[in-house]
Amino acid sequence: VCLEAGLAPRYRQVDLLGKRVLDDDTDFRAVSPSGCVPALALDDGTRLNEMSAVTMYLADQAPSSGLAPRPGDPARYRLQQWLSFVGTEIHKTFVFPTYRLQGTPEPVKAHARALLEPALAVLDRRFREAPHLVGESFTVADAYLAWTLALIRRAGVDVAPWRALAAYADRIRGRPSVHDAFATERAIAGL
């Protein structure tokens, strides 16, 4: 999102198990009460959490980017709909239990995998109608979905049976900002 918006934040690494900010060994819960990323800290002391709020805030710093429809535009609610769908039906339903740092029992993982399928079908239907989640242009919901699709792929789930979704996944992976964001993340994590 920052790459698309032309923003250059300072990234800080977090030990998500120990809940510490790595560079100064401070308590991560001071910036994120849930202990979850993302957490955005502004110079004026404002702290913001939750993917949907953080990404919409960042989008609104660059209104001409089109990353979020402007307030008053009905499409803004459509964006909120898709951010919520990706967050609850894909991220927390499948990605989170699959990659949970503390580990997840295998039957729970299998259940998460089964729950993913209807969500993928919803996305496939959407991409038969439009090139992006909200419509013609890339928004922060697509950025969020791009990240979840990468983790779905890494988990060994092949989305090929959902052909419109698979075509979208290929397209979005080739988007320069998506490619560069993963490269930045790999460099920060030393992968």
Ligand X SMILES: N[C@@H](CCC(=O)N[C@@H](CS)C(=O)NCC(=O)O)C(=O)O
Minimum CB distance to ligand X smaller for 67 or for 124: 67
Within 82-101, which residues bind ligand X (CB under 6 A)? 87, 96
Sign of CA dihedral 104, 105, 111, 117: positive
Cα separation, 181 vs 41, in Å, equals: 19
Residues in contact with ligand X, counted by CB under 6 A, come to a total of 9
C-alpha dihedral sign at 100, 127, 63, 186: positive
Give 119 or 124: the residue with its C-beta nearer to ligand X: 119
Nearer to ligand X, 124 or 148 (CB): 148
Tell me whether residue 50 or residue 60 sits nearer to ligand X (CB atom): 50
Q: Find the binder of ligand X among 2, 3, 36, 75 (CB under 6 A).
A: 36
What does DSSP assign to residue 30?
G
In angstroms, what is the minimal distance from the CB of 140 to ligand X?
12
Residue closest to ligand X when measured from CB atoms: 36
CA quadruple 27, 47, 9, 55: dihedral sign: positive
Give the nearer residue to ligand X in terms of CB position, either 69 or 87: 87
User: Taking the CA of residue 113 as centre, how many other CA atoms within 13 Å lie in the half-sphere pointing to its CB?
Assistant: 15
Q: How far is the CB of 87 from ligand X (least distance, A)?
A: 5
Q: Closest separation between CB of residue 96 and ligand X, Å?
A: 5
Separation of alpha carbons 3 and 132, rounded Å? 18
* Binding flag, residue 35, ligand X (CB under 6 A): yes
- Rg of the Cα trace of the chain? 17
CB atoms within 10 A of CB 181: 19
Among 2, 50, 164, 171, binds ligand X (CB under 6 A): 50
- State the Cα–Cα distance between residues 99 and 112, nearest whole angstrom: 11
State which of positions 140-179 bind ligand X (CB under 6 A). none
The footprint of ligand X (CB under 6 A) covers 16, 35-38, 50-51, 87, 96
